[in-house]
């Protein structure tokens, strides 16, 4: 199963690099977004009731893509194990993306040099903040922040559990990747303080992203050959409201000695200057290198999973031998 898992990861990453994101109308994540949009409504005028409904939403909505993904891999694997591995790789391809993120960030950075209005328009695909009054440097900051944060949310968060579970069960790995993507999508659409229905989704996302965000921060530090940056980043990682997104953003800011700022919300590494065009391009390159480092981490996880399973599994052969011999 380890070989199948590594092959599935390789195929998924190859598809991402060669094809990129599928069109929105054909993307299952976009379909899930439309479902969530229908649920995002005032079911009650009472905030407590809204939060209770939000708890049910957070509980059941991510299960929907997880069950479909797991069943797809089981059904295709029933025809042939090869088809099961291909189905699992397609699930990972649809839930883990890095090329589209880097391409869009680069487009935004290039546009800040000569066409600020285009930069403002394009950066809306990366961030949800008001960008109408942002300067060129602040737009570059937004693009860099998003690249770092989304490397954790949109890549590490699904790749790592897939790699850990794949050698044990490819259907479980695909289901886990789809479930995490569902949690992330819920949080991105509902997880705002102004939306009581999204409180549970935000809390669940905080829990799910705790490890991927910190692993991503480590990979960003390694990508700049400055692992001690993590010690500096600890100071700023807790400044943003999210307990997780601050880790990759603050690490990238400290590693490149730049200031990253969301006006009215936070300033990370304030001793530095807002990113220049060259800083922004270097940041995108670092995020790309960190993505490669995450692939290495995933490979190690996949290779180690059978060993870990053997360590925690009961010694069935030994027990069976003692039972047959009538030994206590």
Q: Label residue 111 by pLDDT band (50, 70, 90).
A: very high
**Is-contact 270 259, C-beta < 8 A?**
yes
* pLDDT > 90? residue 319: no
pLDDT in tens, 177-194: 999 999 999 999 999 889
pLDDT in tens, 272-291: 999 999 999 999 999 999 99
Mean pLDDT of 109-115: 93
Structure-token pair, residue 262: 């969301």
**DSSP element (H, E) containing 266:** strand 266-268
**Is-contact 127 146, C-beta < 8 A?**
yes
Mean pLDDT of 252-259: 95
Distances (CA, A) of 240 to 236, 247, 248, 263, 307: 8, 9, 11, 12, 38
* pLDDT > 90? residue 322: no
CA 227 from chain center: how many Å? Answer: 22
Region class of 264: left (phi > 0), else alpha (psi between -120 and 50), else beta: left
pLDDT reported for residue 255:
94
* pLDDT > 60? residue 315: no
pLDDT reported for residue 241:
87
Q: Which residue has the tokens 């939060």?
A: 51
Mean pLDDT of 89-96: 97
Structure-token pair, residue 41: 């409504």
pLDDT reported for residue 318:
41
The mean-pLDDT minimum among 17-26, 83-92, 206-215 falls in 17-26
Can you tell me the distance from the alpha carbon of 192 to that of 199, in angstroms, rounded to the nearest whole number?
7
The residue that leads in pLDDT, 220 or 25, is: 220
Q: Label residue 129 by pLDDT band (50, 70, 90).
A: confident
**Which residue from 172, 204, 8, 194 is spatially nearest to 94, judged by alpha carbons?**
8
pLDDT in tens, 201-224: 999 999 999 999 999 999 999 999
Mean pLDDT of 67-86: 96
- For residue 140, the enclosing domain spans 2-324
**Which residue from 55, 145, 72, 62 is spatially nearest to 105, judged by alpha carbons?**
145
CA 183 from chain center: how many Å? Answer: 10
Domain count, the chain: 1
**Which residue from 70, 40, 304 is spatially nearest to 194, judged by alpha carbons?**
40
Q: Which residue has the tokens 């409180």?
A: 199
């Amino acid at each position: 199963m380890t070989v199948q898992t590594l092959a599935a990861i390789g195929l998924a990453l190859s598809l991402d690099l060669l094809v990129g994101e599928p069109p929105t109308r054909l993307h299952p994540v976009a379909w899930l977004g439309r479902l969530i949009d229908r649920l995002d409504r005032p079911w009650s005028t009472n905030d407590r009731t809204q939060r209770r409904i939000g708890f049910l939403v957070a509980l059941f909505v991510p299960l929907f893509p997880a069950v479909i993904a797991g069943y797809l891999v089981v059904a295709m694997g029933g025809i042939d194990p090869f088809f099961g591995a291909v189905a699992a790789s397609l699930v990972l391809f649809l839930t883990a993306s890095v090329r589209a993120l880097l391409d869009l960030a680069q487009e935004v950075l290039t546009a800040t040099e000569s066409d600020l209005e285009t930069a403002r328009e394009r950066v809306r695909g990366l961030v949800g903040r008001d960008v109408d009054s942002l300067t060129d440097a602040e737009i570059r900051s937004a693009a860099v922040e998003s690249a770092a944060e989304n490397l954790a949310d949109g890549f590490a968060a699904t790749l790592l559990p897939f790699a850990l579970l794949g050698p044990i069960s490819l259907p479980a790995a695909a289901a886990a990747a789809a479930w995490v993507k569902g949690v992330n999508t819920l949080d991105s659409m509902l997880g705002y303080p102004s939306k009581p229905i999204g409180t549970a989704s935000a809390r669940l996302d905080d829990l799910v992203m705790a490890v991927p965000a910190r692993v991503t921060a480590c990979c960003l530090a390694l990508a700049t050959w400055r692992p001690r940056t993590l010690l500096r980043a600890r100071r700023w990682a807790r400044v943003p409201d999210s307990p997780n997104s601050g880790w990759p953003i603050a690490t990238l800011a400290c590693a490149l000695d730049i200031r990253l700022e969301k006006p009215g919300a936070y300033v990370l590494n304030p001793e530095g200057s807002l990113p220049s065009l060259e800083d922004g391009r270097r940041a995108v390159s670092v995020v790309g290198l960190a993505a490669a480092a995450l692939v290495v981490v995933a490979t190690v996880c996949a290779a180690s999973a059978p060993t870990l399973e053997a360590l925690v599994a009961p010694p069935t052969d030994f027990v069976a031998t003692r039972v047959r011999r009538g030994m206590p």
